[in-house]
Amino acid sequence: MIAVIQRVTEASVTIEKKVKSAIGVGFMLLIGIVEEDQQEDIEWLSRKVVNMRLFPDDAGVMNKSLLDIDGEVLVISQFTLHASTKKGNRPSYIKAAKPEIAVPLYEAFKEQISLDLGKPIGSGEFGADMKVSLVNDGPVTILIDTKDKK
C-alpha cells in the first residue's frame, strides 16, 4: 500500500459537481493498493499516518501529529500511484489491485484511520471521476510504502 501524505490547510473532493467531502487543517491522503496488501498494511499505515509529526510546534519545528492538533483527514483512492513507467510512454497499471480486492481494503483503511484518529474522516469514492482541491501547507508531501518498513 502506498500513501502520499500532503499537509493541508484545506482540501475537498468533488464528484459530479457536488462536494462529497471537505476538511480543514490536516492530511489529504492518496492511497494506492496492490493485491498483496493485507490488514497488517492497513493497521501499520494508519498508525504511521496519525502519529506522523508534520505540524509545527511553538518553535516552528515539525513536532506535532494529527492527534496533537486535532487535525482532519481526507482519503482518496488512487490506483495510478502504482503506475509502471519503465517501458514506453503509456503507464501500465498492472500492479494496482483490481476493484474486487482494492475496494474492501480501501474501505477497511478508511475505518481504521477513523478509529485511530478518534473521529470521522472525509473520503472520495472508489472508481469515481473525482476533482480534488487542496492547499498544500509548506508544501509538505511525504510518500510511504508499507512494503518498505525498514
Please say whether the beta carbons of 69 and 92 come within 8 A: no
Q: 127: domain CATH number?
A: 3.50.80.10
The answer to whether position 150 is within a domain reads no
Catalytic residues: 78-80
C-alpha cell at 12: 475537498
- pLDDT single digits (tens) 24-56: 999 999 999 999 999 999 999 999 999 999 999
Q: Is residue 119 exposed (0-12), middle (13-18) or buried (19+ Cβ within 10 Å)?
A: exposed
Average pLDDT, the chain: 95
pLDDT tens digits for range 74-107: 999 999 898 888 888 999 898 999 999 999 999 9
Residue 126 lies in a domain: yes
Q: What is the pTM of this model?
A: 0.94
Range of the domain at 8: 2-145
Based on the structure, what is the number of domains in the chain? 1
In a domain, 93, yes or no: yes
